[in-house]
Structure 1
Amino acid sequence: MTTISRAAAGLRRPLRLALLAAALCGAQPALSADPAKSPSLPSATAAPATDAALRARSQAAACTNCHGPAGRAPAGSTIPPLAGRPQAELAAQMQAFKAGTRPATVMHQIARGYSDDQIAAITAWFAAVR
């Protein structure tokens, strides 16, 4: 039987956790900071992502819970897709939700949580998704 010292056994757990974290991070290509390796980034972003672009993508990620990955709603969904729609159209709808002039179940509450600059960035991100 092989015996392992307490010091060696104590290193196993952090090593396993580090390997698990690396595997989990590797399984999340949408979170990659390299746009060339990230399928969820708009194809128009061939240059390295800026902080503003990464921030917009992160904020837009909240929309994917309902509107689908990268704003592509599943087939047959009653929730509209956002990917590739004109930025002005998306921004106008978000502003209408925010003002309470467009009927909604939850979007009016969600839209109120964003500043006008954030809405512009998020809608530009979805407009660029192809």
Structure 2
Amino acid sequence: MKKTSIAFAGALMLTSLSSFAVERGEMLANSCFSCHGYDGKATGATIPPLGNYPASLIVSQMKAYRDGTRKGTIMPRHAKGYTDEEIVLMAKYIGVQGK
């Protein structure tokens, strides 16, 4: 009986952790939507929509903004506030929004 309870508790924790990652990615991406449009679907000419961007492209561009190899006005300042893990989480969330 104890083994079953422990196994169930472990499975429940794993499920909770994976849903936390999705929720955290969504939470982090919300800051992007104020400029890039709700769910990454901006309609302006100067700010690109991010929905449907491949996550790998968002990650590489955010890291380039953060390390200064990609120039910008606002984005370098934003990018410096995120860890690699946070950039990946938000990129995964944003990349599925236009689908």
Place the TM-score, normalised by the shorter chain, in its bin.
0.7 to 0.9
Q: After the TM superposition, which residues 9-20 of structure 1 pair with which residues of structure 2 at under 5 Å, given as runs? A: none
1:67 alignment partner, one of 31, 36, 39? 36
1:90 partner amino acid? I
Tell which has more relative contact order, 1 or 2 (C-alpha 8 A, sep 6+): 2
- Which consecutive segments of 4 or more residues in structure 1 shift more than 2 A? none
Q: Which has the larger radius of gyration?
A: 1
Gaps of 5+ in 1: 1-47
SS at 2:23's partner residue?
helix
1:68 partner amino acid? G
Answering whether residue 58 of structure 2 is matched by residue 90 of structure 1, we say yes
2:49 partner amino acid? P
Gaps of 5+ in 2: 1-15
Aligned to 2:91: 123
Deviation at 1:51, TM superposition (A): 1.1
Deviation at 1:123, TM superposition (A): 0.5
CA distance in structure 1 between the aligned counterparts of 2:93 and 2:41, rounded to whole angstroms = 13
Please give the TM-score of this superposition, normalised by the length of structure 2.
Answer: 0.78
Q: Which has the higher helix share?
A: 2
Deviation at 1:77, TM superposition (A): 2.8
Deviation at 1:52, TM superposition (A): 1.1
Among all aligned residue pairs of Structure 1 and Structure 2, give the percentage whose two residues are the same amino acid.
35
Please give the TM-score of this superposition, normalised by the length of structure 1.
Answer: 0.60
CA distance in structure 2 between the aligned counterparts of 1:105 and 1:128, rounded to whole angstroms = 26
Answering whether residue 67 of structure 2 is matched by residue 103 of structure 1, we say no
